Amino acid sequence: MFRKGQSLGAGFTFLLALSLALIFVDHRFEYLTQVRRALSVVVAPIQWLADTPARLTDDVRTVVISRTELTQENARLKARTLILEQKVQKLASLNAQNVRLRELLNSSRLVDEKVVVAELIGIDPDPTIKQVLINKGDQDGVYVGQPLLDATGVMGQVIQTSPFNSRVILITDSSNRIPIQVNRNGYRAIAAGTESGTELELLHVPATADIKEGDLLVTSGMGQRFPVGYPVAEVKDVHKSAGQPFLTIHAQPLARLNRSRLVMLVFISEREIYGQAAPIASENAGSETAGEGTPQ
């Protein structure tokens, strides 16, 4: 058909006519369906081989992209996990602080006087000295002798102030004295810190005094430092030695001296001190006037 010297136009016209005739016959009568099926089987391997480079390229691109995305996603998840863990730790701390604040709030509602919440910022490194530092000072109205409480009881009193912080002596310091009374019967005495710094000892209590283990000790209002009624300690043990005129009485402070961080400074007036104090007869009332409520 395409021999040399033969017209190319005639060959092209012939092939065009043949193609149109085959298309018409295939479309109209579907005679070439089986032929097409047979040819597709023969051509399939060629088509697969021809498509292989493209498929390999796509697979490699997918693997590389997937690995990169997975690496990036893994890094993001690790960072998010770290952030969430940090938030959980902070949340636990905030939750504990919130509990302490609620305890202080509930305690302050029971107190008629003005109170200011302070925070412990330091402790004395000497184990024999029970003193702490708080973050309130002269500019907050803090004064020497001011009572310090936590949510459960009396902690101590201010002994030194500066513009921005104050030093507080705890009730368990061996040089501290605090006037107390037994909540059950109103018996008054002086509670002193001990050398151990963990408990209180009642001084010069006659052997005939009505004090029992488990009695609640509260401030008596004497000494013009603490108004009456603040919880101080609970009687831990009472010992009576034969031939001795005084009882040996130890009490456990109710304040969490080694755990409390948030505390309350109580502002009281002379009217409140004397107005709250009730006259209670006591066998040792005269013994309370020596150094009561003031650190020695």
Helix (H) or strand (E) holding 178: strand 177-182
Domain positions in the chain? 8-109, 114-289
Q: According to the model, what pLDDT value does residue 46 have?
A: 83
| Fold classification of 114-289 (topology level) | Thrombin, subunit H (2.40.10)
State the pLDDT at residue 206.
Answer: 93
pLDDT of the residue at 128: 87
CB count within 10 Å of CB 114 equals 13
How confident is the model at residue 106, as a pLDDT? 67
The label of the residue with tokens 């796509």 reads: 58
CA–centroid distance for 32 within its chain? 83
Tell me which DSSP letter residue 143 carries.
-
Residue 268 sits at φ, ψ, to 5 deg, of -130, 155
Residues contacting 92, CB < 8 A, separation 6+: none
Give 151-205 pLDDT, tens digit per residue.
Answer: 888 999 999 999 999 999 999 999 999 999 999 888 999 999 999 889 999 999 9
CB-based contacts of 286-289 (< 8 A; 24+ apart in sequence): 287/189, 287/190, 287/203, 287/204, 288/179, 288/188, 288/189, 288/190, 288/220, 288/222, 288/223, 289/222
* DSSP designation for 41: H
What is the residue whose two structure tokens read 């020596």? 290
| Cα 62 from Cα 67, distance rounded (Å) | 8
The pLDDT, as a whole number, for residue 171 is 95
From first to last of the 296 residues of the chain, give the pLDDT tens digit: 555 556 677 778 888 888 888 787 777 776 677 777 777 777 778 877 887 888 788 777 777 777 778 888 887 787 777 667 656 655 655 666 677 677 666 665 655 567 888 899 999 888 889 999 999 999 999 999 999 988 888 999 999 999 999 999 999 999 999 999 999 888 999 999 999 889 999 999 999 999 999 999 998 888 777 877 888 999 999 998 888 889 999 999 999 998 888 888 888 765 444 444 333 333 333 333 333 444 43
Q: Report the pLDDT value the prediction gives residue 280, as an integer from 0 to 100.
A: 34
Confirm if 169 and 176 have CB atoms less than 8 A apart. yes
Tokens encoding 129: 């000295």
What's the pLDDT at 83?
65
Contacts (Cβ under 8 Å, ≥6 apart) of 133: 120, 121, 122, 123, 165, 166, 167, 168
Q: Give start and end residues of each alpha helix (H) in the chain.
A: 8-29, 33-109, 270-276
- CA-CA distance, 190 to 201, in Å (whole number)? 8
Q: Is the pTM of this model over 0.75?
A: no
- Beta carbons of 147 and 266 less than 8 angstroms apart: yes
Task: Return left, alpha or beta for 136; rule: phi > 0 is left, psi -120 to 50 is alpha, else beta.
Answer: beta
